A and B are shown apart, each in its own frame.
Chain A
């Protein structure tokens, strides 16, 4: 039996549907998304550009662009006040003022992609970390200062005292991102959202930041939503993966299920398109075409034009989510009992077998 506290669901998004009005027309960016985040878990949202992964979390944080409209959906967030009282609210229906005052920075914190522009260039690092605590909790300056030093050490910045007085341009990209993470953790949030935090960083720095996030998560027990387009990164940090395409989640499952038993042709494509260090193939399998532009909403399955395993029905009807196991579902007509038996590409099957054997070594 699962530990009740551990399996507490802290964020639950249902039927999220968002459009943007642009000069070229209406872009239907999010077309019905459901996902959950449980306490202490890392959920990854994987998708390419235009899939809508950033828009989803921005809507939950209340920082959606002004030309965006939330057509429908709920985002139920659960947190506990200091006195133990449990509070449940719908983030999408909360006013901007309440979001700023009670949620943003305090309960849900966000780490963005570009560390260059995430920090205020005219403010010292120490001040930026202390700011949130003073504003949300009214902590005294001395206490906030002490806590900031602790946070800087926790994120792996040596010479914390000296760094408190530095300005952002005096730090390298990796250190800046660590500072951003420190700021995010300053108010002890329940949920940390990372929107492609390492895409702009070098691979060695990326490795260290990922290790840091994982370490912090285990130590502090916070939940993390990790948004990325890089499946390699997902393998390291995530417990649960949602694969997004064209504004919908096309496959979701635990990390093992997605990596060792993917069922959606798009997931096959993503996994195959990454060369890993042991690939001996002379040709990388590539999904043909490009992600669709959501100005013209496709009828049927949005992935069907690029899908070599498409069925005739994919052009007419969108597939529902088919349940594979308790935790694993995929939205593809290939899972319908009437569909022909189609297995993943041979190269991918070979590679997965190889990966499974690797573990045994």
Chain B
């Protein structure tokens, strides 16, 4: 896949939030990765890792403090021209976490889904608008009659589908899914994930799938990045990450995943990781290439220790 041009290229992205004169929250601290057309990149991390912030910085809900973001060959980091801005707002979309809060309670579903069309004037008549909405509703597994309803008349999983429809109707090249299944029941998560996979097959959209559930991330992603405290500590294909994780944080994360096999699970103990205890300072490390697309964030000494 590397001979293709990356759809999204993030280079040394920094997102800092100054709280007071002496204290700045460094939510994202020098992260670099790429996403190619048609693939799913899973970004995994715990709370405070910066994964949600990085998604929002990429889609320019925040103004990046440093670094460069290139989307479809255009620089979207600083002030954008009107044309670039339009491109960003149509070709890159986002699906959010909370099915209760991601839809405006006072708007009908048809208006919620067609919002992007309305803003960018992508239809010529009212009938065309309704038709587009009806088609997209069917695609996400809802009925066209639902267009006239309000969000509170739907269940959580259905609301998430409406959120997906809202993003999908714009025919985006990249969809950032910000923990979009975390708030759903287990049986509904599987539905939504299947839907996302089917849509990707059909439309060739790329996903940046941000989540904390490693098993789900492994299932849906082609490549994975592991974040901790604002740094991208390891990245690679899913086989590379899950079969031989090299960074101790990745190893502890994988060991912490509960395994639905009682006999093993009852006696298994997870690995303990504390970067302070182990003397690891992320900002000292650089990305080292191990092999293929497998990168690890480490100082030269650490690299020698972990990889050999």
A joins B in a complex = yes
Interface residues of A (CB under 8 A from B): 48-49, 173, 202-204, 206-208, 210-211, 214, 229-233, 235-236, 238, 255-256, 259, 269-277, 279, 282-288, 290-291, 293, 355, 358-359
CB neighbours of A259 from chain B (8 A): 260-262
Flag whether B269 is at the interface (Cβ < 8 A).
yes
CB neighbours of B193 from chain A (8 A): 284, 286
Task: Please tell me if the beta carbons of A290 and B157 are within 8 angstroms of each other in the complex.
Answer: yes
A270 to chain B, nearest CB (A): 6
CB neighbours of A49 from chain B (8 A): 156, 185
Task: Please tell me if the beta carbons of A203 and B214 are within 8 angstroms of each other in the complex.
Answer: yes
Contact residues of B between 154 and 199, Cβ < 8 Å to A: 155-158, 185-191, 193-194, 197
Task: Please tell me if the beta carbons of A277 and B215 are within 8 angstroms of each other in the complex.
Answer: yes
Alpha-carbon gap, A276 to B265, bound state (A): 13
Flag whether B80 is at the interface (Cβ < 8 A).
no
Alpha-carbon gap, A279 to B156, bound state (A): 26
Given the contacts A202-B46, A208-B270, A271 and B260 also touching, CB distance less than 8 Å: yes
Name the contact of B270 in the complex, choosing from A173, A207, A256 (C-beta under 8 A).
Answer: A207
A103 to chain B, nearest CB (A): 30
CB neighbours of A290 from chain B (8 A): 155-158, 185, 188
Alpha-carbon gap, A51 to B85, bound state (A): 46
Alpha-carbon gap, A206 to B47, bound state (A): 12
CB neighbours of B105 from chain A (8 A): none
Alpha-carbon gap, A229 to B216, bound state (A): 16
A214, A233, A274, A285 — most chain B CB neighbours (10 Å): A274
- A-B contact list, 6 entries, CB within 8 Å: A49-B185, A204-B270, A207-B255, A232-B260, A269-B187, A286-B188
Given the contacts A202-B47, A203-B212, A290-B158, A358 and B261 also touching, CB distance less than 8 Å: yes
Alpha-carbon gap, A96 to B193, bound state (A): 45
Task: Please tell me if the beta carbons of A229 and B186 are within 8 angstroms of each other in the complex.
Answer: yes
Flag whether B266 is at the interface (Cβ < 8 A).
yes
A168 to chain B, nearest CB (A): 17
A232, A270, A358 — most chain B CB neighbours (10 Å): A232
A116 to chain B, nearest CB (A): 12
CB neighbours of B266 from chain A (8 A): 214, 235-236
Alpha-carbon gap, A273 to B187, bound state (A): 6
Given the contacts A275-B218, A283-B197, A284-B193, A235 and B187 also touching, CB distance less than 8 Å: no
CB neighbours of A279 from chain B (8 A): 215, 219
Given the contacts A204-B46, A273-B186, A284-B194, A211 and B260 also touching, CB distance less than 8 Å: no
Task: Please tell me if the beta carbons of B214 and A236 are within 8 angstroms of each other in the complex.
Answer: no
Flag whether B16 is at the interface (Cβ < 8 A).
no
Given the contacts A48-B185, A359-B263, A275 and B256 also touching, CB distance less than 8 Å: no
Task: Please tell me if the beta carbons of B257 and A286 are within 8 angstroms of each other in the complex.
Answer: no
Name the contact of B273 in the complex, choosing from A204, A211, A284 (C-beta under 8 A).
Answer: A204
Given the contacts A48-B187, A204-B273, A236 and B258 also touching, CB distance less than 8 Å: yes
Alpha-carbon gap, A255 to B260, bound state (A): 11
CB neighbours of A206 from chain B (8 A): 256, 258
Alpha-carbon gap, A214 to B197, bound state (A): 37
Task: Please tell me if the beta carbons of A274 and B186 are within 8 angstroms of each other in the complex.
Answer: yes
Contact residues of B between 262 and 308, Cβ < 8 Å to A: 262-266, 268-270, 273
A277 to chain B, nearest CB (A): 6
Task: Please tell me if the beta carbons of A273 and B270 are within 8 angstroms of each other in the complex.
Answer: no
Closest to B273 in A: A204
Closest 7 CB pairs of A and B: A232-B258, A286-B190, A202-B46, A273-B190, A207-B270, A275-B219, A207-B256
Closest to A283 in B: B194
With an 8 Å Cβ cutoff, the count of chain B residues facing the other chain is: 43
Alpha-carbon gap, A231 to B46, bound state (A): 20
Name the contact of A275 in the complex, choosing from B46, B187, B212, B216 (C-beta under 8 A).
Answer: B216
Closest to B195 in A: A286
A323 to chain B, nearest CB (A): 22
Alpha-carbon gap, A233 to B265, bound state (A): 9
Task: Please tell me if the beta carbons of A358 and B264 are within 8 angstroms of each other in the complex.
Answer: yes
B168 to chain A, nearest CB (A): 19
Alpha-carbon gap, A271 to B187, bound state (A): 9
B46, B47, B155, B190 — most chain A CB neighbours (10 Å): B190
A272 to chain B, nearest CB (A): 8
Task: Please tell me if the beta carbons of A203 and B46 are within 8 angstroms of each other in the complex.
Answer: yes
Alpha-carbon gap, A235 to B260, bound state (A): 6
4 A-B pairs besides A48-B186, A274-B215, A276-B261 with CB distance below 8 A are A202-B212, A232-B215, A235-B262, A277-B218
Task: Please tell me if the beta carbons of B260 and A229 are within 8 angstroms of each other in the complex.
Answer: no
Given the contacts A277-B242, A284-B219, A290-B188, A211 and B263 also touching, CB distance less than 8 Å: no
Flag whether B259 is at the interface (Cβ < 8 A).
yes
Contact residues of B between 193 and 213, Cβ < 8 Å to A: 193-194, 197, 212-213
A18 to chain B, nearest CB (A): 21
B76 to chain A, nearest CB (A): 31
Alpha-carbon gap, A285 to B261, bound state (A): 18
A42 to chain B, nearest CB (A): 11
B243 to chain A, nearest CB (A): 10
Closest to B255 in A: A207
Alpha-carbon gap, A206 to B219, bound state (A): 21
Alpha-carbon gap, A259 to B157, bound state (A): 26
CB neighbours of A273 from chain B (8 A): 186-187, 189-190
Alpha-carbon gap, A286 to B46, bound state (A): 26
Flag whether B252 is at the interface (Cβ < 8 A).
yes
Flag whether B253 is at the interface (Cβ < 8 A).
yes
Mask of B232-260 contacts with A, CB within 8 angstroms, 1/0: 00000000001000000000111111111
Task: Please tell me if the beta carbons of B258 and A256 are within 8 angstroms of each other in the complex.
Answer: no
B165 to chain A, nearest CB (A): 17
Alpha-carbon gap, A270 to B258, bound state (A): 15
Alpha-carbon gap, A171 to B259, bound state (A): 29
Alpha-carbon gap, A48 to B155, bound state (A): 13
CB neighbours of B255 from chain A (8 A): 207
Closest to A352 in B: B261
CB neighbours of B188 from chain A (8 A): 48, 286, 290
